[in-house]
Homo-oligomer: A and B are copies of this chain.
Amino acid sequence: MRAGRDRDASVALVRRYRATIEYDGTDFAGFQWQPQVRTVQGEIEAALQRLTGAEVKVVGAGRTDAGVHALGQVVSFSAATGIPVERMAAAMNSVLPADVRVVRAGETDEGFNARFSARSRSYVYVMLNRAEPSALLRRYVCHVRGALDAQAMADAAGRLVGEMDFAAWANSLGEVRTTVRRVFRCAVRRRGAWVLLFVEASGFLHGMVRNIAGTLMQVGSGKRRPEEMEAITASRDRRMAGPTAPAHGLCLVRVSYTDAGGTPALVEE
């Protein structure tokens, strides 16, 4: 049996890999594999199948939605290949489409799981706050025409830091065990026409960053006061928070592990 022999022959070379992935989410139905649509996980698994001749299951640290980008997604997988570890990133890039890139790849220990070993995920939500939209960065920023009060947004954002029940900030609870998450950082900074929201947490509920961004935009435009944040959280009621901000302004910038790896080269705060 051909397939069986191939699998046996490669057993000796099976390695556990960890890779940092950058992608332009514009033309993807999200990170996670789904039938019939283009997903980041699907493209990475197809690339690994081409390189190894076998089916490879990839686990990602963050299951980003359709349209959401990543500079520092982290994936783990086990694969059997004769490609030297230091050539793995280049080899994967040689068979991946241009909107997914392996920034770096290396061998990791057997127990490493990109999702379950992660200590925190960091996202940035990018708003361009000027009269007219951007042509060059139209795929990566959310245009906000009316003036945003970044100071008020920063005040509101700070009220979401801590270990809390974030049920009010989730679009769907799905199969989560608990809606308690620890937010390590939630900060807003203005730099010229740019308003940036940085959120780092132990984990995120579905739509959480975009719901925070949409609510903070309401604060920034004077529709809500920063003091309302606590009441929204306490309500555990999704209807109390603001609208979900558009996906294309969101980017997964970093996943942190206890070894402090995974920092992408493109981001500088």
Contact = CB atoms under 8 A, between A and B. Distances in A.
Contacts of A104: 131-132
A134 interface: yes
A40 to B, nearest CB: 10
Q: Which 3 A-B pairs have the closest CB atoms?
A: A193-B265, A101-B135, A22-B135
A1 interface: no
Copies held by the complex: 2
A132 B266 contact: no
A135 B24 contact: yes
Interface stretch (A92-100, A170-178, A216-224, A229-237): A92-100
A71 interface: yes
A136 interface: yes
A17 interface: no
A167 interface: no
A189 interface: no
Nearest to A26: B136
A89 interface: yes
A251 B131 CA distance: 22
Given A69-B136, A90-B132, 11 more contacts: A24-B135, A98-B135, A98-B138, A99-B138, A101-B133, A102-B132, A103-B130, A104-B132, A136-B140, A192-B268, A193-B265
A71 B135 CA distance: 8
Interface core residue of A22, A89, A136, A268 (most chain B CB under 10 Å): A136
A31 interface: no
A268 to B, nearest CB: 6
A209 B44 CA distance: 37
A24 B191 CA distance: 22
Contacts of A133: 93, 98, 101
